[in-house]
Amino acid sequence: MKISYPWDTPPENGTVQEVADGVLWLRLPLPMALDHVNVYALDDGDSWTLIDTGMKWGKVPAMWQTVLDGPLNGKPVARVMSTHHHPDHIGFNGWFVEQGAELFSTRTAFVLGRMLTLDAQEAYNEEQISFYRRAGMRADLLAARIKDRPFNFADMVHPLPLGFTRLSQDQVLRMAGRDWTVRIGNGHAPAHATFWSDDGLVLSGDQVIPSISSNIGVYPTEPDANPLDDWLVSCHAFQDFAQDDQLILPGHKVPFYGLRPRLRQLIENHESALDRMRVALKAPHTCGDLMEAVFKRTIKDGEYGLALVEALAHCNYLWHAGEVTRTLRDDGVYVWQMR
């Protein structure tokens, strides 16, 4: 089976497209290269359940109000299902809770989102600077980053509530007249919730998106993490549940059919990158030196940060597997090499 797309064009920002009975697809803008996020509204009769809420910035609050008054027919949002903790997905969770909604999330996703939202910083601290230096960030970009104010979740996320309702593996929820099974993935974000309906719909968040690969990154919050291994394990596990007739409703890009080949692509993409790194690391390299081996192209300054943390995820994978050594140079930069 090949990957196919039932809709040629997405809905305009702030408008909706019905993708299944009682399931509306809403697109909201983002202030970055990936300029949109998908949100889904599920009709529960007298109320709505939302899957993610977008990022709090610009005209998005007004867009939400227009959608609530228009396509959602003024019915209340009773529940918000959070796929994962990234700010482009949880920006309005707290706002909807203040309006009376119940927030559902995996425990790890909620705790991370709340922690990062509360941890507002005006300047990079030494722990963060050391992390990027060890990763081999280009000196001029590191110097510029140190001068800038860090990105803070609090800038783009409405304050999150103290409490939430936990989503767990294999939990079954009733939404839009269907039973949905919660299946939890990892790699792009810890404890990422996906929802699989009894009639062939999959709300995949960023765990499976078409045409681009979700960022698999290592960050200062867990510098020795191995998210690429988590990602590959999750992709293999989801293959057991993939069916040809499932409509995948992702967090970015457009809905598609072809979960099985898409999972295979995602696995092969990273396995190929690891093979290229094994060749490159016959000689010592910093992580910053390895980005072209990972991505097969020159990385521009605007995408350097995300590319660096993904290259680091590949280095950490090989390091945890015992395939490479990691040595800290006198200048505070890690050098990696095959054993």
The overall average pLDDT reported for the chain is 97
- Percent of the chain at pLDDT > 90 equals 98
Q: Residues 123-132: pLDDT tens digits?
A: 999 999 999 9
Q: What is the pLDDT of residue 8?
A: 87
CA distance 16 to 63: 11
Q: What is the pLDDT of residue 54?
A: 98
Q: Are strands 172-175 and 102-105 parallel, antiparallel or unpaired?
A: unpaired
Position 215 confidence tier, pLDDT thresholds 50, 70, 90:
very high
Q: What is the pLDDT of residue 147?
A: 94
Does domain 16-278 correspond to CATH entry 3.90.700.10? no
Q: Residues 143-202: pLDDT tens digits?
A: 999 999 999 999 999 999 999 999 999 999 999 999 999 999 999 999 999 999 999 999
Determine whether 187 is exposed, middle or buried from the number of CB atoms within 10 Å of its CB (0-12, 13-18, 19+): buried
β-bridge mates for residue 328, sequence order: 334
Q: Residues 240-257: pLDDT tens digits?
A: 999 999 999 999 999 999
Q: Which two tokens stand for residue 57?
A: 């910035």
Q: Residues 45-75: pLDDT tens digits?
A: 999 999 999 999 999 999 999 999 999 998 9
- How large is the average pLDDT for residues 284-289? 96
Sign of the Cα torsion 243, 249, 253, 255 reads: positive
Position 1 confidence tier, pLDDT thresholds 50, 70, 90:
confident
- Exposed e or buried b for every residue in 292-311, given b needs 16+ CB within 10 A? ebbbeeebeeeebbbbbbbb
The string of DSSP codes covering 169-233 is: TT-EEEETTEEEEEEEE-SSSTTEEEEEETTSEEEEETTS-SSSPPP----TTSTT--HHHHHHH
pTM of whole model > 0.85?
A: yes
Position 205 confidence tier, pLDDT thresholds 50, 70, 90:
very high
- How large is the average pLDDT for residues 220-246? 97
